[in-house]
Each structure stands twice: as structure tokens, then as C-alpha cells.
């Protein structure tokens, strides 16, 4: 049976995406640090620590194997915040789990269909917590975990939008990459809502990522819509240059797809401050940013998030 070139390219793209964005293992090399490894794989240091049960003072050794977690910007936002999730054991059925050798917060959360920040919150832990063999943790009861539905992989724009060079995959991708991200074109927004840019078009994203894509001018200033502390600045896999700003109430405002960044981690910004410029989307080839707001790892409607 003859396979068309288009089908073959599509299959190869899916295989590459699966290899690049699934959890993978990295062997530490001489001179590596958590920061340098996080930059290499375009995730945050907090995610890397959580996936490997590491503290801020742990020293890496050449030959050590680390788990590189798959991309999840919601988890990244939660782990790079000062406050914990609002999840509570009083509204979630839990059971007790005894930590085994090799367990990490990341692996336990994944195994029990939870977010890392949910696991932290249920147990009164912060994002720098390290678990020990024999320690008892609260996890979601089996009935709670299995009742939840998983988002189809096809809806994750991060897995389709780009590929990142790693030790396990090459960056040989088709010259033309279709935009498989999903949008809600019917969702309208009031005209008086203020956005980080003077958006000529506001389109809601659907699926795994809940936020808005804002079409704007190339290199247009991107302004903070809410005062707060810059918690993360850098590349994040599938989103380009990213800035997370946490408000005093604990909300994380995520500005992604920036062309240039003009703030540093721990800077305090007020509403209207320029935090960067708009970049060019790698797929649509148009100037735009994606704007998201999170409470813990739970996305909220960016149009309804507090301003000022």
C-alpha cells in the first residue's frame, strides 16, 4: 500500500512530538546545574526540583539521572508562586499513601491524576518540599482520581506548536506546520476590558490551555494589567519568552509569546508597566501573545481577572 507524502509527514511529526514532550530522562554532565538543565529543556527549575525530589541546596553529580517532566504551563505557574493552591482535603476525598523509594512529588501527582500544587496543598507543603521514604501523604482517593477525565493530547498546543532539541530527538520538522491549536471563535469579550496590548483581535483558546490569544502589532509594548512580583522570566517549551507575575492576592498572570523581555525575576511592577514586546507566532507568522491567568494551577477567565 502506497502512503502519501502528507500522511507520512503527519505521522513523523506526531512521533517527534511524542518523543520530545513526554517525560524523558537526562544524564547529568560535568558542569551542569539545575538552572542550565532547565534552560536546555525550556522548563522551570521548580518543575525540575519537584520531578526529582531535590532541594535548593542539592548538588548535582555527573552521571546522575534526572527526570525531565513534560511541559505543563499551569503546573509551572503554580510551582513558581509564593502561595499554595486553594485545594482542600475538606472538599476532596483522600487516602493515605506511604512514600516509597524513588517517589517524587511529580511522580505521585501524575500517578494519582493530580496537579503537583494539589498534592502540596493537601499536605501543607510548599513548592520546595522534599519527601522521604516512609513519610505519609494524603492523596486523592481512587474514586476521585478515576472520576476525572483527561484532556485529549490533540488539544495541547504546546505539543504541536514547536519542537525543542533534546538528547532524544532532532529538530527536523516539516517546513509547514499546521496550526492544530483549538480556538473558540464565538466567545465574545466586552469592549471595555483592558489587555496587555492594544489587541486588534481577541480569541479564546480551548482545550488543555485556557487563555486568550491577542493579535497586535509587531514589537508592540506588552504591559502588565495587574501589579505584582515577577516570579519567572525565560523560555518555556512551546510558548516562547514567558513572564509570570504574581499579584498580592496570589493570582499568576502569564504573558507568553514575547519577542523581548524588559523585566527580571523578583522585580515589582505596577499596572501599565512595560514588561516586554510582542513576538511573532511561529505557526501563524503573525504578531501576537497569549495571555493566561491562574489560581494555583487552575486557569480562570483572563477577561474577568482583576486589573489595576
Residue-wise pLDDT tens digits, 286-295? 999 999 999 9
3-state helix vs strand vs coil in the chain, percent to 5 = 20, 25, 50
Other C-beta atoms lying within 10 Å of the C-beta of residue 141: 14
pLDDT of residue 283: 86
Contacts of 266 (CB under 8 A, 6+ apart): 229, 230, 231
CA angle centred on 302, ends 298 and 304, rounded to 5°: 105
Question: Looking at per-residue confidence, does 263 or 7 come out higher?
Answer: 263
3-state secondary structure at position 217: coil
pLDDT of residue 187: 75
Nearest alpha-carbon partner for 282 in 241, 233, 223: 241
- Split at pLDDT 50, 70, 90, the class of 157 is very low
Return the minimum-mean-pLDDT range out of 41-50, 208-217, 231-240: 208-217
Contacts of 270 (CB under 8 A, 6+ apart): 224, 227
CB 158 within 8 A of CB 209: yes
pLDDT of residue 172: 43
Packed helices 34-41 and 45-52: angle between N→C axes, nearest 10 degrees: 110
Set of cell numbers at residue 46? 521548580
pLDDT of residue 232: 96
Nearest alpha-carbon partner for 118 in 152, 148, 155: 148
Strand ranges in 86-200 using DSSP code E only, listed in sequence order: 94-98, 136-140, 183-184
Per cent of the chain over pLDDT 70 is 77
Other C-beta atoms lying within 10 Å of the C-beta of residue 95: 14
127-143: average pLDDT: 89
Return the minimum-mean-pLDDT range out of 19-23, 165-169, 172-176, 258-262: 165-169
Q: What is the pTM assigned to this prediction?
A: 0.75
- Split at pLDDT 50, 70, 90, the class of 15 is very low
- Split at pLDDT 50, 70, 90, the class of 160 is very low
Distance CA 188, CA 201 (A): 10
At 33-88, the pLDDT tens digits run 999 999 999 999 999 999 999 998 899 999 999 999 998 999 999 999 875 444 44
Residue 101 has pLDDT above 90, yes or no: yes
Contacts of 1 (CB under 8 A, 6+ apart): none
276-280: average pLDDT: 97
pLDDT of residue 164: 40
98-115: average pLDDT: 92
Contacts of 220 (CB under 8 A, 6+ apart): 197, 198, 277, 278, 287
Give me the chain's average pLDDT, please: 81
Residue 256 has pLDDT above 80, yes or no: yes
How far out from the chain centre does Cα 136 lie? Answer: 28
Residue that the C-alpha cell 513558581 belongs to = 80
- Split at pLDDT 50, 70, 90, the class of 209 is low
Residue 169 has pLDDT above 90, yes or no: no
Amino acid at each position: 500500500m502506497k502512503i502519501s507524502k502528507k500522511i507520512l509527514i503527519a505521522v513523523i511529526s506526531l512521533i517527534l512530538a511524542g518523543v520530545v514532550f513526554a517525560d524523558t530522562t537526562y544524564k547529568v554532565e560535568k558542569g551542569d546545574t539545575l538552572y542550565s538543565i532547565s534552560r536546555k529543556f525550556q522548563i522551570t527549575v521548580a518543575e525540575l526540583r519537584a520531578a526529582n525530589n531535590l532541594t535548593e541546596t542539592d548538588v548535582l553529580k555527573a552521571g546522575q539521572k534526572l527526570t525531565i517532566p513534560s511541559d505543563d504551563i499551569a503546573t509551572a505557574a503554580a510551582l513558581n508562586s509564593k502561595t499554595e493552591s486553594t485545594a482542600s482535603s475538606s472538599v476532596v476525598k483522600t487516602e493515605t499513601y506511604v512514600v516509597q523509594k524513588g517517589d517524587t512529588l511529580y511522580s505521585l501527582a501524575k500517578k494519582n491524576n493530580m496537579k503537583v500544587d494539589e498534592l502540596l496543598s493537601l499536605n501543607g507543603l510548599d513548592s520546595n518540599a522534599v519527601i522521604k521514604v516512609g513519610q505519609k501523604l494524603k492523596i486523592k482517593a481512587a474514586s476521585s482520581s478515576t472520576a476525572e477525565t483527561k484532556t485529549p493530547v490533540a488539544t495541547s498546543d504546546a505539543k504541536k506548536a514547536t519542537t525543542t532539541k533534546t538528547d532524544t530527538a532532532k529538530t527536523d520538522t516539516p517546513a509547514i506546520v499546521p496550526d492544530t491549536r483549538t480556538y473558540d471563535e464565538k466567545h465574545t469579550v466586552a469592549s471595555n476590558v483592558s489587555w496587555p496590548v492594544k489587541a486588534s483581535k481577541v480569541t479564546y483558546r480551548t482545550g488543555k490551555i485556557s487563555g486568550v490569544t491577542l493579535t497586535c502589532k509587531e514589537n508592540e509594548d506588552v504591559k502588565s494589567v495587574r501589579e505584582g512580583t515577577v516570579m519567572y522570566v525565560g523560555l518555556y517549551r512551546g510558548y516562547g519568552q514567558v513572564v509570570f507575575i504574581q499579584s498580592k492576592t496570589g493570582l499568576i498572570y502569564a504573558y507568553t509569546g514575547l519577542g523581548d523581555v524588559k523585566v527580571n525575576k523578583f522585580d515589582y511592577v505596577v499596572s501599565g508597566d512595560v514588561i516586554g514586546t510582542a513576538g511573532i507566532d511561529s505557526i501563524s507568522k503573525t504578531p501576537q501573545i497569549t495571555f493566561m491567568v491562574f489560581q494555583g494551577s487552575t486557569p480562570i477567565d483572563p477577561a474577568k481577572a482583576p486589573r489595576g
